[in-house]
Structure 1
Amino acid sequence: MIRQYELVEKVRDYNPNTDEALLNRAYVFGATAHANQRRASGEPYWGHPLEVASILTDLRLDDSTIVTALLHDTVEDTPATSDEIARLFGEEIAGLVDGVTKLTKLEVTSTETAQAENFRKLLLAMAKDVRVILVKLADRLHNMRTLDHLKPEKRRRIAQETMDIYAPLAGRMGMQSMREELEDLAFEVLNPEARTSIMRRFLKLRRDSGDLIPKISAELSRVLAEAGIEAEVRGREKKPYSIWRKMEEKQISFSQLSDIYGFRVIVTTDADCYAALGAIHRHWRAVPGRFKDYISGPKANGYRSIHTTVSGPGAARVEMQIRTWQMHAVAETGVAAHWAYRDGERVENPFAVDPYSWLRDLLARIEAGNEPQEFLEHVKLDMFTDQVFCFTPKGEVVGLPRGATPIDFAYAIHTRIGERCAGALVDGRRVPLWTRLRNGQQVEIITAEGQRPSPHWEDMAKTGRAKHAIRRALRDRQREEELALGRDLIEQTFARRGREGGAKAYQAAAVKLGQPSVEAMLVQLARGELSAHQVYEAIYPSPNAVEEVAPEPAEALTDPKRVRGVSRGAAVIFCQTCLPVPGERIIGLARRGGVVVHEMSCPILEQHEADLTRWHDLRWSPDASRTPANLARIDLTLLNQPGTLGKVCTLVGEQNANIDNIGVSTRKPDFFLMTMDIEVRDLRHLNDILTSLRAQSFVNKVERARHAPPPGQELSVDQPRLPLGTDPAAGA
């Protein structure tokens, strides 16, 4: 376990201006908070935050990140609170600790939908402050180094999560060294037999041919020195997981692998990189097709280097990576280099390209709100694949995942170009859209007006951006076709029955059928989930259906009372303001000699809220809706044109309802307002009538009438009829 003074010394080595008091306070606070805790191995828990902090000091990170590492488990695993962290260490550190705490609670290997949602949260945390992810990656790295004492199933879960999410994420952030270690540690848990087999092959190879790394390193150093190039040469065997993955991808055996050794040549300037490349190619034969220049065309995460493979001693293929020291820092630490310190100062931004452009693109997809499973698929496609670089006719570089096609290239330029893609020229030759692109090719997209994405394109595309755009276009096209088909079906039904359709009619039907919108109703029509007859019946119920509910002439009500809950002999009066009908919740308001029946939302009840002793809970008689003797009042705004009133009366009559009275309150040149009393059976019968009226183009507005009397006005028991041509009266 690293000691307090050792940690402070490590930070001071690269940042002499470090806030030692802050680091010491964080050390003491964390050690105290975790004092009685033990890890599964039995070791003090405090050793884990210390090791996480130590990993981050190797990346030369700022004080706030180191302190966050020391405190990252305190809020989750100890009585410490976020407020306490903010008070003692400041809002910045408290925010970072809170971000790491939230990420720790994610279970990324749960169901696919939850995994996608958790990955959204992880990316959003990165966008807010990338140091949160740096601490989380260091936390995961130390946990992977100390998995031995966990149960096998938990070890496998953590290792799989690391292989699926955290190792590729480290790679996408340019932290190649951390990615390789995470992958190899996870590989050892997930497939120990394969890893052991590869390690045995390495031992056998060393016995048969000796250790080639020192020999090649010495010869490479000599070649560069003779060319006058000052360079440091580092050689290594590739990691077991890297070897195994290549064997799986190419379906070859270990003995067929051509480049199990890798060397890095680190020089001072960009010009030295190309000079070293020339010296190496003059000394050893270059392997055709194995050259990549990431200096002139950096990767999306900012990585720059020259890669070449040569035929070395004993015909062994050797991969060379040539880069400057600045490029090397980016290659090893990735976006962490953006936060690195040297001699107490933040280093100058070493990135040749914006290292966060890929993150912004992913966040744009989050905001687009596509399906969680699609989002996760796109993230994996874009984050976890190697890249090829192609050129537009204007010389602009477009980075794409390996295996990308002209369709991916088109969508990478612009979604509109992708949707209109009709063909492609690669290096001046016409090629099929499923052609796989290679490094350095020039691609020109041929577009055509009227061209639309094909369902086959989804299988051809490799990038998440292209797949998402194609699926969205196909869904939009399918929806357009469904809307057109649904509209045709309902229009034909209305036309056959001689009824007026249109937007108002469809809107009224959608509301009656409980649909969220007219479009949703039309889509259900097209899919057969709803019939055109049902839509028509929602507006114009058939007479047969109405007659089935209506009572037979000989069927008389055995009890003349329509409400229950009133004392025998008490007078029952229906409020002329709300005119409740069966099916609505009713309340009785006591008055001399009886009660006045109100619907629950009646505005008159508000005048009597202070005297609840007068309130009585009433209910409708079971027979109340068996005869159309319940009066309902509606307000209508109609276009002032010939035949309008007659059409209204016809519609009401077709619903087996009787108009009891009509009052016109306002008459204008283009419209008039009227109030109508209608005898209905119940609330459902009334709603059918209202729906039919709302569907008509000549009806501007229709709703239940609520004409409350002035406060304090006495309610008349004998409510007069509405005189034709006057304002509707209210009260009772």
Structure 2
Amino acid sequence: MFLISDLCAMLNAYLDEDQVSAVYHAYLFGAEAHEGQTRMTGEPYIYHPIAVARILAEMRMDENTLIAAILHDVIEDTETHKEQIAKLFGEEVAEIVDGVTKLDHIHFDNKQEAKAESFRKMILAMVKDIRVILIKLADRLHNMRTLGIMRADKARRIAGETLDVYAPIANRLGMNVMRHELEELGFKAYYPMRYRVLKESVNKVRGNRKTLVKKTQEALENRLSHEGIQCDVLGREKHLYSIYRKMQNKNLPFSEVYDVYAFRIVVDTVDSCYRALGAVHALYKPVPGKFKDYIAIPKINGYQSLHTILFSPFGVPIEVQLRTSDMHRVAENGIAAHWGYKESENNGGVIAQAKAREWLKSLLDLQQNAGDSIEFLESVKVDLFPSEVYVFTPKGLIMELPRGATIVDFAYAVHTDVGSSCVAGKINHQHAPLSTQLKNGQTIEIITAPGASPNPSWLNFVFTAKARGSIRNILKNLQRDESIALGTRLLNKCLGNVNMSVQDLSQSRIERVIKDYELNSMDELLHQVGLGNRIPQLVVRHLLPEQSDALDQARQEHGPLLNIRGTEGMVVHYGRCCHPIPGDPIVGFISSGRGIVIHTKSCKNAKDYLKQAQKWIDVEWSDDISAEFSVTLRVVVEHRKGVLATIASALADCEANIEHVVTADREDQLYSLDFTLSVRDRTHLADIMRNLRLLAIVATLTRL
């Protein structure tokens, strides 16, 4: 339990005796005002204001801030009036206490308008005097430290507010020590299970890291000492919430996030920072593109440091931050560092203060220009939470997404079904590619279609874990259904050589093979056959060992094994090396994990595959194909105006869609153009090529 005597002992380290006496006098006034009041923990209420003042004293805040911290609840919870505080402790203290009191009326709920208005009041109170929000942050921090006494649902609501609003404000003001503790406590209360699992994982690997951390630290210290640089080298422990956010935002496993060794080097001067940087780069090679100079260009909250990542001899990256002691103080306490030190001693604090004042001025401008509280909230969050993007639905609702999110991420944020049936999107009423990254203030509209399903290519650009997980889950189920269907077709074709089908197999045969393959069901066996992980001929031989000779003879005698319809989905692929189309003589190659890859028989790759007898199958095109297939034509044309338009017009007349165009080569007055087209079959392709050859501008035409 922290008492007023402990607080006064702390204050004696940096305040004058008269200033400490003024703080003690405020304590006596507050204790009398709160007489008889207790907290949920059962302790006298005055212990809470003392604890809040202690948090601020650790940041070496001035006497008026400390007095206001001790008195921050007297107007709200007692009969004390603002005028009394002004008379006893001055107008400045009274205004700060009044500002904090107004913030205590803020109650967050699910109503967007009310939440936006509450947020506006808090921001404007902060604009009036930054110390108001410093006290409120300290008040919230102590409440978070004692959150365990609260009812679970209330504790989770408070933790959510802390993570959504108070921790980001602390970050925006550069108060990293407070921000990290708010995030850790908020994380623990909001996601208790995730917090526990992550903490256990960190504890398990921490012991294995100690030796390597010690060796690296000693190597850095020895190198810097050899260069004559006085410094402190500290190993940095990664915060659980930071690890969690990185895993979530970047979709990384724990090992990749935690397996980075972090060190902080604190020196005496700016010159020593750059000298130390050269020394550590000489010791370990830097990772290209991973150096950031926040000394020359401070962060928006005034933070200054040099950041670099190095290759270590232990096979893991080393993250190093280099800063002066003044910069370190500002990095820890941000704008609060301004009050505890003289400006001549603390240039970093002056920078942080100037940055904060600049930001506060911009908030006033935003307030004057904002039409309503929601618009103000949107504008402030753009700046307050730079890692987030805020966009609007067509009905004007605000959606929050991580920076880098795309139209598809937005669709999944609205609802999983919306994302899965998405076929197109609009940004500000204009059609845009689904991969377009969103920007603040845009209005996003999603166009859906019944029966649509996610495109596997979406995984190349979606940003959010929800979208990525949903797409993978749907594709996995879709692929499983398709692979089971293909696996059934493949086994039926093989079994058909001995006048049998999958349905004719006895349960005992199926159970024996499933057991031998260590599988759980017949569907799982069909799934593996369809994916190409098991070769159908070998599976049938295992099912019917007594029919091996008949199966071999039947394969040699019978024609094509499988009809290709073009609608098999994700388990039948077409070789990009030869672009087979209906009408081409083809062969199928069983590729593990992909199913069947179709090649033309004249393809060089197919000739190599034919050497692996067990992995290729005879295939033929079905008679009822409605799909379209890609094919590439190389067209050598004369260099004239309107060449592309002429060719595009001719292709359109033939009902051929252009997928891609590449300028392959140029020689004198001739251009070589590669067109990738969608065609129905060889007959369609022949018509296209015939029409193109009739054009005067076409010199030669070949299919690649």
**Corresponding residue number in structure 2 for 1:366:** 367
Letter paired with 1:246: K
Look up the match of 1:40. 40
Cα distance in 2 for partners of 1:357, 1:457 equals: 36
Q: Alignment RMSD, CA only? A: 3.1
Instruction: Check whether the contact 1:15–1:345 (CA below 8 A) recurs between aligned residues.
Output: no
Q: 1:377-456 maps to which residues of 2 (within 5 A)?
A: 377-386=378-387, 403=404
Indicate whether 1:104 and 2:104 are aligned.
yes
> 2 CA distance for matches of 1:122 and 1:461?
31
Which residue of 1 is the match for residue 243 of structure 2?
243
Query: Match of 1:264?
Result: 264
Q: How do 1:150-161 and structure 2 match up within 5 A?
A: 150-161=150-161
Quote the offset at 1:86 in angstroms. Answer: 1.5
For 1:284 and 1:25, the matched residues in 2 are separated by 56
1:381 corresponds to which letter in structure 2?
V
Partner of 1:577: none
Q: What's the counterpart of residue 356 of structure 2?
A: 355
Match of 1:218 in 2: 218
Counterpart contact for 2:330–2:349, Cα < 8 Å: no
1:371 shift after superposition: 3.9
Matches of 2:224 and 2:346 in 1, distance apart? 33
Q: How far apart, CA to CA, are the structure 1 residues paired with 2:99 and 2:302?
A: 25
Quickly say closer, same or farther: Cα 1:333–1:90, change in 2 above 3 A: same
CA displacement at 1:120 relative to structure 2: 1.2
Return the alpha-carbon distance in structure 2 between the equivalents of residues 275 and 62 of structure 1.
35
- Counterpart of 1:278 in structure 2 is 278
Distance 1:254 1:29, change over 3 A: same
Query: Relative contact order, CA 8 A, sep 6+: which one is greater?
Result: 1
Query: CA offsets per residue over residues 67-93 of structure 1, 9 Å max, x none?
Result: 011110111112222122112211111
Q: Is the 8 A contact 1:327 1:350 kept in 2?
A: no
What displacement does 1:28 show? 0.5
SS of the equivalent of 2:147 reads coil
In the alignment, the residues of structure 2 paired with residue 58 and residue 264 of structure 1 have an alpha-carbon distance, to the nearest angstrom, of 21
Give the match for residue 30 of structure 1. Answer: 30
Which segments of 5 or more consecutive residues in structure 1 lack a partner in the other structure?
388-400, 406-452, 472-732
The letter for the 2-side match of 1:332 is: E
1:258-337 equivalences under 5 Å are 260-337=260-337
Question: For residues 15 and 21 of structure 1, do their structure 2 counterparts lie closer, same or farther at Cα, with a shift above 3 Å needed?
Answer: closer
Q: Aligned with 2:319: secondary structure?
A: strand
Counterpart CA distance in 1 for 2:277 and 2:347 is 28
Listed as ranges, the matches of 1:108-127 within 5 Å are 108-127=108-127
Larger Rg over CA atoms: 1
Does the CA-based 8 Å contact 1:176-1:332 persist in structure 2? yes
Q: State the aligned residue count.
A: 411
Under a length normalisation based on structure 1, what TM-score does the superposition of the two structures give? 0.52
Question: 5 Å matches for 1:554-633?
Answer: none
Partner of 2:3: 3
Deviates more, 1:209-218 or 1:122-131: 209-218
Q: Which moved more, 1:210-219 or 1:101-110?
A: 210-219
1:62-101 matches, cutoff 5 A: 62-101=62-101
Could you tell me how far apart the structure 1 residues matched to 2:20 and 2:172 are? 33
Kindly state the Cα deviation for residue 273 of structure 1 after the two structures are TM-superposed. Answer: 1.0
| Residue 207 to residue 336, structure 1, CA distance change in 2 (3 Å) | closer
1:30-64 deviations in whole A, cap 9, x for unaligned?
11122211111112211110010000001111100
Whole-angstrom distance in 2 between the partners of 1:275 and 1:364: 42
1:467-494 CA distances to partner (integer Å, 9 max, x unpaired)?
38x99xxxxxxxxxxxxxxxxxxxxxxx
Q: Structure 1 residues 48, 347: CA separation in 2 closer, same or farther (over 3 Å shift)? A: farther
Going from structure 1 to structure 2, the CA distance change for 1:258 and 1:203 (only over 3 Å counts) comes to closer
Contact kept in structure 1, 2:293 and 2:305, CA below 8 Å: yes
Classify the secondary structure of the residue corresponding to 2:235. strand
Query: Post-superposition shift, 1:203?
Result: 2.1
Q: Residue 510 of structure 1 corresponds to which residue in structure 2?
A: none
More moved, 71-80 vs 199-208: 199-208
Change (3 A) 1:462 1:167: farther
What SS class does the counterpart of residue 363 from structure 1 fall into?
helix
Q: CA deviation at 1:260?
A: 4.2
Please tell me whether the aligned partners of residues 330 and 351 of structure 1 are also in contact (alpha carbons under 8 angstroms).
no
Structure 2 vs 1, CA of residues 320 and 73 (structure 1 numbering), >3 Å: closer, same or farther?
same
Change (3 A) 1:36 1:258: closer
TM-score normalized by the length of structure 2: 0.54
Partner of 1:56: 56
CA pair 87-27 structure 1, distance change in 2 beyond 3 A: same
Cα 1:216/1:386, change in 2 over 3 Å: farther
- CA spacing shift, 1:276–1:102, aligned 2, 3 Å: same
1:489-517 alpha-carbon deviations (Å, 9 max, x no partner): xxxxxxxxxxxxxxxxxxxxxxxxxxxxx
1:314 and 1:384 map into 2 onto residues whose CA distance is 36
Secondary structure of 1:169's match?
A: helix
One-letter code of the match for 1:141?
A: L
Match of 2:23, as an amino acid?
L
For residues 4 and 258 of structure 1, the distance between their equivalents in structure 2, rounded to whole angstroms, comes to: 41
Q: Distance in 2 between matches of 1:207 and 1:270?
A: 35
Q: CA deviation at 1:381?
A: 2.8
Higher helix share: 2
- Is 2:243–2:258's contact at 8 Å kept on the other side of the alignment? no
In structure 2, the CA distance between the partners of 1:325 and 1:157, relative to structure 1 (3 Å rule), is same
Structure 1 SS opposite 2:8: helix
One-letter amino acid of the counterpart of residue 49, structure 1: P
What is the rounded CA distance, in whole Å, between the counterparts of 1:290 and 1:343 in structure 2? 32
Check 1:360–1:83 CA distance in 2 against 1; reply closer, same or farther (3 A cut): same
Matches within 5 A, 1:686-701: none
Distance in 2 (CA, whole Å) between partners of 1:197 and 1:313 is 30
Shift of 1:299: 1.1
Cα distance in 2 for partners of 1:461, 1:118 equals: 30
* 1:116/1:376 contact within 8 Å kept: yes
Question: For residues 456 and 340 of structure 1, do their structure 2 counterparts lie closer, same or farther at Cα, with a shift above 3 Å needed?
Answer: farther
**One-letter identity of the residue aligned with 2:142:** H
What's the counterpart of residue 590 of structure 2? none
Q: Distance in 2 between matches of 1:267 and 1:325?
A: 6
Report the 3-state secondary structure (helix = DSSP H, G, I; strand = E; otherwise coil) of the residue aligned with 1:332: helix
Distance (whole Å) between structure 2 residues aligned to residue 181 and residue 456 of structure 1 = 44
Contact 1:53 1:66 in 2 (8 A): yes
**Counterpart amino acid of 2:30?**
G
Q: Secondary structure at the match of 2:371?
A: coil
Judge conservation of contact 2:326–2:347 (CA < 8 Å) in 1.
no
Q: Distance in 2 between matches of 1:367 and 1:39?
A: 40
Residues 463 and 326 (structure 1), Cα distance of their counterparts in 2 relative to 1, 3 Å cut = farther
Q: CA deviation at 1:214?
A: 3.4
Cα deviation code 1:3-36 (max 9, x no counterpart): 3333223122112365233112101111112221
CA drift of 1:346 comes to: 9.3
Between the aligned partners of 2:259 and 2:384, the Cα distance in structure 1 is: 25
Shift of 1:360: 2.0
Against the structure 1 CA distance between its residues 158 and 57, is the aligned structure 2 distance closer, same or farther, given a 3 Å change threshold?
Answer: same
Q: For each residue in 1:585-628, what CA deviation from the matched residue of structure 2 results, as whole angstroms up to 9, or x when unmatched?
A: xxxxxxxxxxxxxxxxxxxxxxxxxxxxxxxxxxxxxxxxxxxx
Determine whether 1:338 maps to 2:338. Answer: yes
Instruction: Tell me which amino acid in the other structure corresponds to 2:356.
Output: P
What amino acid maps onto 2:370 in structure 1?
G
CA offset at residue 175 of structure 1? 0.4
Contact 1:53 1:69 in 2 (8 A): yes
Give 1:108 shift.
Answer: 3.1
Letter in 2 for 1:76: E
